[in-house]
Amino acid sequence: EDQVTQSPEALRLQEGESSSLNCSYTVSGLRGLFWYRQDPGKGPEFLFTLYSAGEEKEKERLKATLTKKESFLHITAPKPEDSATYLCAVQDSNYQLIWGAGTKLIIKP
Amino acid sequence: DTAVSQTPKYLVTQMGNDKSIKCEQNLGHDTMYWYKQDSKKFLKIMFSYNNKELIINETVPNRFSPKSPDKAHLNLHINSLELGDSAVYFCASSQDMTGGKTQYFGPGTRLLVL
């Protein structure tokens, strides 16, 4: 069965303290892995799409990487405004998105 | 210049009532979706429409009926609302249904059934 597991559930960091969020997946026929950011009371906002193992993408303090079993979202020197829930989703061979439960990231000033 | 919009943003209603949520996208996309996000933040696909045609209909009670009058609009009608229907409902759209296409989300409709 296709599945996406994100860890940790919640992560508290001090401003400037770098860390990584994990997204492990099992899927038949991966067509893409997506990272989204969701702020309280808002809809998910697209960050990255990764298509194949070894691929990396960067945006400001965020960098997403992909292997055959998992993806990491690295956050370098985070700021309080990076606080949000980060969601991972994989697209299967039927083009459906399977979502993880998210990691709630809190950056303390 | 909102890309995907939903109305209403909040909906509080009594059990047994019928309600509708509207969604519109101005991105020119062919595919639209309805998701339900429960209290544990899991996003679950409910329906997917491609060019006004129903493509995906997950295990959703038939009290939920989507309607797509044109490819820019996908509305969700819910009959005989139950307590368990309380959740946040998100509309989304993507260029089409092929691989790797980004889905863009609306702001959500917070439904509370009393």
Instruction: Note the pLDDT tens digit of each residue in A25-73.
Output: 999 888 899 999 999 999 999 999 999 999 999 999 999 999 999 999 9
Cβ–Cβ below 8 Å for A99 and B44: yes
Q: How far is A93 from chain B (nearest CA, A)?
A: 8
The 10s digit of each residue's pLDDT in B89-113 is 999 999 988 877 889 999 999 999 9
Cβ–Cβ below 8 Å for B42 and A41: no
Q: What is the mean pLDDT of chain A?
A: 95
Per the rule left: phi > 0, alpha: psi between -120 and 50, beta: everything else, B37 is beta
Which of A36, A46, A97 is opposite residue B45, by nearest beta carbon?
Answer: A97
Which of B92, B100, B106 is opposite residue A32, by nearest beta carbon?
Answer: B100
Q: Is the preceding omega at residue B8 within 30 degrees of 0, hence cis?
A: yes
Cβ–Cβ below 8 Å for B108 and A42: yes
Q: If we measure between CA atoms, which residue out of B61, B65, B75, B62 comes closest to residue B25?
A: B75
Structure tokens at A94: 């039927």
